């Protein structure tokens, strides 16, 4: 068992090394001296209070989407729709706040109701993907992808149509809410400890849920072998639906936080790729909640640090995305190689969903 851990670590370190080599090559090819570039990224990420704040701000939505997909992954579901679920969460939050902003309700209550609406919105959107899957036999990947497009279209419609600023039609978004309807932040920054706290709480809860509860155990049983789980008396489709609902709720919360904590309005692409990034993080940590938080932190630090590449070396800031995707790809490749040479699979892999599909019907 011990030896296995070391072999695993070896393969992952190897993948990391190859990823570093490739990105170093890319940096050099783009004309940036690699070590200086890495150094400037590091400084860009951690060199100032503002940049650390930026990392912490971006960390919360990523923690939430990652926490969400960890649940659906455990149930053997590829919830690609998490991006749209975050978007619909943002829509519901905005809708609720628009509804209440002119009432005499205290701002704190409006914010709380707005966040709750976002959670419900995300959960509903996920339930839709879940229902398509469980009752309609539509693979959740296709259902989720389709619903992502619908969520984007809905946002664009609202931003340009009913919720447009008076006299304006621009994808810049709806009119920002008054400052009293912003989540309180640390003085002089956009960092909301509420947002951060909720996200850390969420990932910790998901860790405990998957790790130490009956529910988590059954969920994983459904994910690994739905047929066996079903025969052993686990209500499989209910568990699948519940996984979708929980994931959607977390994604919805992420969307809500974007609205009340950061953007203060609704704009197209408010989910900003956090859903997909959450999927990447979950894959990279092999669906282990414990590692999700630091890896998510590393990813947002990369995003923040890579901005320096553009400032200092005129490189496209999407370099961070390249590095992140490469990492995931190579770690998965490394895992494939390990399985090929050592013939064992790691734990917690999501299983073939087709089997369960048949089971459900």
Query: Which spans of this chain sit near other proteins (rule: CB under 8 A)?
Result: 44, 47-54, 56-58, 61-62, 152, 156, 160-161, 164, 166-173, 176, 186-190, 193, 196, 200, 204, 207-208, 211-212, 258, 262-263, 265, 267-270, 272-274, 277, 290, 293-294, 300, 303-304, 307-308, 310-312, 316-318, 321
Smallest separation (angstroms) from other proteins to the CB of 278: 12
Smallest separation (angstroms) from other proteins to the CB of 228: 26
Sign of the CA dihedral with 36 first, then 37, 38, and 40 last: positive
Smallest separation (angstroms) from other proteins to the CB of 84: 13
Strand, coil or helix: 106: coil
Q: Are the beta carbons of 251 and 85 closer than 8 angstroms?
A: yes
Question: Is 236 or 265 the residue whose CB approaches other proteins more closely?
Answer: 265
Smallest separation (angstroms) from other proteins to the CB of 271: 9
Question: Is 74 or 225 the residue whose CB approaches other proteins more closely?
Answer: 74
Strand, coil or helix: 254: helix
Question: Is 20 or 156 the residue whose CB approaches other proteins more closely?
Answer: 156
Smallest separation (angstroms) from other proteins to the CB of 188: 5
Question: Is 152 or 339 the residue whose CB approaches other proteins more closely?
Answer: 152
Smallest separation (angstroms) from other proteins to the CB of 172: 5
φ/ψ (deg, to 5) at 233: 95, 15
Question: Is 180 or 316 the residue whose CB approaches other proteins more closely?
Answer: 316
φ/ψ (deg, to 5) at 189: -135, 175
What is the separation, in whole angstroms, between the first and last Cα of the chain?
Answer: 39
Smallest separation (angstroms) from other proteins to the CB of 168: 5
Q: Kindly state the tokens that stand for 163.
A: 């919720």
Cα 291 to Cα 56, 260, 277, 302: the distances in Å are: 17, 28, 15, 17
Strand, coil or helix: 238: helix
Q: Kindly state the tokens that stand for 203.
A: 């990932």
Q: Are the beta carbons of 125 and 84 closer than 8 angstroms?
A: yes
Question: Is 65 or 240 the residue whose CB approaches other proteins more closely?
Answer: 65
Question: Is 163 or 230 the residue whose CB approaches other proteins more closely?
Answer: 163
Smallest separation (angstroms) from other proteins to the CB of 149: 8
- C-alpha 253/C-alpha 86 separation (Å) is 7
Burial of residue 166, with CB atoms counted within 10 A of its CB: 0-12 exposed, 13-18 middle, 19 or more buried: exposed
Question: Is 137 or 176 the residue whose CB approaches other proteins more closely?
Answer: 176
H/E element, 93: helix 82-100
Q: Are the beta carbons of 148 and 108 closer than 8 angstroms?
A: no
Smallest separation (angstroms) from other proteins to the CB of 129: 20
DSSP state of 189: S
- C-alpha 82/C-alpha 327 separation (Å) is 21
Instruction: Give the residue carrying structure tokens 């984007």.
Output: 152
Question: Is 303 or 353 the residue whose CB approaches other proteins more closely?
Answer: 303
């Amino acid at each position: 068992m011990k030896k296995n851990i070391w072999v695993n670590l070896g393969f992952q370190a190897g993948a990391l090394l190859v990823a570093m080599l490739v990105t170093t090559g890319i940096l050099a090819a783009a004309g940036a001296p690699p070590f200086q570039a890495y150094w400037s990224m590091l400084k860009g990420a951690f060199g100032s209070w503002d940049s650390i704040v930026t990392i912490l701000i971006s960390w919360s939505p990523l923690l939430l989407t990652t926490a969400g997909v960890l649940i659906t992954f455990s149930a053997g579901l590829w919830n690609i729709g998490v991006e749209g679920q975050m978007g619909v969460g943002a829509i519901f939050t905005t809708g609720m706040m628009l509804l209440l902003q002119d009432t005499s309700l205290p701002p704190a209550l409006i914010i709380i109701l707005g966040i709750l609406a976002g959670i419900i919105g995300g959960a509903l959107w996920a339930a839709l993907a879940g229902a398509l899957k469980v009752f309609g036999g539509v693979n959740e990947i296709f259902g989720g992808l389709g619903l992502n497009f619908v969520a984007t279209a809905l946002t664009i419609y609202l931003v340009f149509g009913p919720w447009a600023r008076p006299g304006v039609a621009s994808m810049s978004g709806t009119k920002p809410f008054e400052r009293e309807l912003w989540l309180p932040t640390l003085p002089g920054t956009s960092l909301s400890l509420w947002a951060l706290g909720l996200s850390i709480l969420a990932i910790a809860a998901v860790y405990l849920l998957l790790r130490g509860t009956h529910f988590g155990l059954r969920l994983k049983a459904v994910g690994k072998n739905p047929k066996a789980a079903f025969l052993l008396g686990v209500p499989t489709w209910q568990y699948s639906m519940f996984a979708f609902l929980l994931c959607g709720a977390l994604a919805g919360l992420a969307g809500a936080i974007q609205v009340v904590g950061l953007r203060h309005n609704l704009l197209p692409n408010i989910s900003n790729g956090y859903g997909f990034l959450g999927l990447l993080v979950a894959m990279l940590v092999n669906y282990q909640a414990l590692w999700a938080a630091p890896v998510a932190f590393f990813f947002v630090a990369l995003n923040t640090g890579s901005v320096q590449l553009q400032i200092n070396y005129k490189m496209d800031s999407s370099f961070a995305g390249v590095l992140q995707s490469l990492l995931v790809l190579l770690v998965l490749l490394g895992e494939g190689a390990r399985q090929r040479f050592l013939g064992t699979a790691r734990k917690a892999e999501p299983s073939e969903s087709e089997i369960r599909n048949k089971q459900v019907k």
